[in-house]
């Protein structure tokens, strides 16, 4: 699953760098690397920090324009902005603008693939939790974790109860 997401990151990053006059094409590989790292670290931090409700809202959201108001997305954008400045050498304005544009694009594409069935949310969550989250989050009992399960968990408000055991110490 991480490889599929990284392919999306690389594809969209190359396209965005190619149209951005403030970022040299020679930096595309480094920008893609930092973008992928920030995305995965941000999602993993959301899981380990117990922010599953925000993460599930992210995957169940239907309004792509509202992505930037999600706290998980905000953290990923802030992280990427910092990494692009520190590790790639981009100025703060360019870094912030790029991060604010690319992260919602990537997440929108991943969400689209999850909604169409190309990506399994259980696999995504499993890759973030180093295990299989399907059995715990499966709302309709079909053995698969899909967007319908995420929407149901968020709408029913029982997401915290379902995930309580996942992060027990």
pLDDT of residue 94: 96
pLDDT in tens, 88-133: 999 999 999 999 999 999 998 888 887 787 877 666 666 665 544 4
**More reliable by pLDDT, 167 or 159:** 159
For the chain, the domains span 2-167
Q: How many CA atoms lie within 13 A of 148 on its CB side?
A: 8
pLDDT at 77: 96
- pLDDT for position 98: 97
pLDDT band at 76 (very low <50, low <70, confident <90, very high): very high
pLDDT digits (tens, 9 = 90+) for 4-58: 888 999 999 999 999 999 999 999 999 999 999 999 899 888 877 777 677 777 7
pLDDT tens, position by position, 122-163? 666 666 655 444 444 555 656 665 666 666 655 555 454 444
pLDDT, position 151: 63
Contact present, 104 and 73 (Cβ < 8 Å): yes
What pLDDT was estimated at residue 22? 94
Indicate whether 64 pLDDT > 70.
no
pLDDT score of 102: 95
């Amino acid at each position: 699953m991480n490889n599929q997401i990284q392919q999306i990151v690389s594809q969209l990053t190359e396209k965005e760098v190619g149209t951005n006059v403030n970022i040299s094409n020679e930096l595309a590989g480094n920008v893609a690397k930092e973008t992928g790292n920030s995305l995965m670290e941000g999602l993993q931090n959301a899981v380990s920090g117990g922010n599953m409700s925000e993460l599930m809202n992210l995957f169940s959201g239907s309004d792509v324009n509202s992505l930037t108001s999600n706290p998980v997305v905000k953290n990923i954008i802030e992280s990427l902005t910092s990494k692009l400045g520190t590790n790639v050498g981009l100025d703060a304005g360019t870094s912030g603008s790029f991060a604010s544009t690319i992260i919602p694009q990537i997440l929108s594409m991943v969400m689209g693939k999850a909604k169409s069935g190309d990506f399994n949310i259980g696999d995504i969550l499993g890759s973030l939790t180093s295990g299989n989250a399907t059995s715990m989050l499966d709302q309709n009992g079909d053995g698969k974790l899909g967007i319908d399960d995420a929407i149901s968990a968020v709408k029913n408000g029982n997401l915290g109860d379902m995930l309580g055991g996942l992060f027990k110490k």
